[in-house]
């Protein structure tokens, strides 16, 4: 009698595991995703560029001192591949490039250059971030998928100042640039609310030193996704990105504090 009961229990257990592997979680059963998001974000960009000749540079803000718009739009692109039921990889990219000219109200020391009060300056700041992540689903059900993330943010940063002189064009051009990786850890949680609605939460953060980069990155995104059709979604999220760096590169010795936050509208295709 014991042997048939044991065999029945094993069969039920095997069936249960098979169903667990075959279940459709809140991300559905599509293997590929491509998404395009548009932001209307509030920016805050503060930097310092030091010099061996002049010493510590001036802490200044591109929005505060150079008149860059504190609110601007940018695009964000994402692609993801599900390589197994619990395993995904994703790549995200955004480019925040902005430029503005203004007459400065205080002197600014930028690397080996000094810009005096009332000089008209053209300021440019470029931040390009490529994010590469591996996702592992630590919990899966038909209504909830919870993932642990590990990956890297590849940063490409460039700040440029140039004096605008009447009749002679630009002069005293200063450029600071840096690039390198910052590792991140994080989590993603997807909750199925109905056949068409889903709640998403994403968080990545880490403070680390990698070569001549040291600092902290924080990337938060939360909101709702609506399934428009079988293979198309629309999402409305709130996104916050914060990057604090100390740099010791030859091309940029100093600091950077760059962050943006605001709503994001995303359209995604799944197949």
| DSSP string covering 99-123 | EEEEE-SS-EEETTEEE-TT-EEEE
The predicted-structure confidence for 195-237, as pLDDT tens digits, reads as follows 999 999 999 998 888 877 788 999 999 999 999 998 999 999 9
Max CA separation in the chain (angstroms):
101
Model pTM score: 0.84
Q: What is the pLDDT of residue 169?
A: 65
Structure tokens at 41: 């974000």
Helix or strand run (H / E) with residue 7: helix 2-22
Q: What is the pLDDT of residue 168?
A: 62
Distance CA 46, CA 60 (A): 6
| Per-residue model confidence as pLDDT tens digits over 107-160 | 999 999 999 999 999 999 999 999 999 999 999 999 999 999 999 999 999 999
* Angle, vertex CA 31, rays to CA 29 and CA 33, nearest 5: 110
The answer for 165, left when phi > 0, alpha when psi is -120 to 50, beta otherwise, is beta
């Amino acid at each position: 009698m014991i042997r048939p009961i044991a065999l029945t229990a094993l069969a039920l257990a095997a069936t249960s595991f098979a169903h667990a592997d075959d279940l459709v979680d809140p991300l559905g059963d599509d293997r590929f995703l491509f998404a395009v998001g548009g932001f209307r974000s509030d920016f805050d960009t503060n930097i310092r560029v030091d010099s061996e000749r002049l010493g510590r540079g001036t802490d200044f803000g591109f929005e505060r001192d150079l008149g860059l718009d504190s609110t601007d739009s940018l695009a964000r692109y994402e692609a993801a591949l599900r390589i197994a039921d619990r395993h995904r990889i994703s790549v995200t990219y955004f480019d925040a490039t902005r430029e503005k000219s203004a007459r400065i109200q205080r002197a600014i020391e930028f690397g080996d250059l000094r810009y005096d009060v009332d000089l008209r300056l053209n300021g440019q700041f470029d931040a390009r971030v490529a994010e590469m992540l591996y996702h592992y689903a630590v919990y899966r059900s038909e209504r909830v998928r919870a993932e642990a993330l590990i990956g890297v943010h590849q940063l490409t940063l460039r700040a440029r100042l140039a004096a605008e002189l009447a009749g002679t064009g630009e002069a005293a051009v200063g450029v600071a640039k840096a690039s390198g990786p910052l590792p991140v850890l994080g989590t993603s949680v997807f909750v199925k609310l109905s056949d068409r609605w889903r709640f998403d939460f994403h968080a990545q953060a880490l403070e680390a030193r990698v070569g001549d980069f040291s600092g902290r990155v924080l990337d938060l995104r939360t909101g709702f996704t609506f399934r428009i059709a079988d293979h198309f979604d629309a999402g409305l999220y709130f996104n916050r990105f914060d990057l604090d760096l100390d740099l010791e590169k030859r091309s940029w010795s100093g600091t950077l504090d760059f962050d943006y936050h605001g709503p994001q509208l995303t359209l995604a295709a799944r197949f």
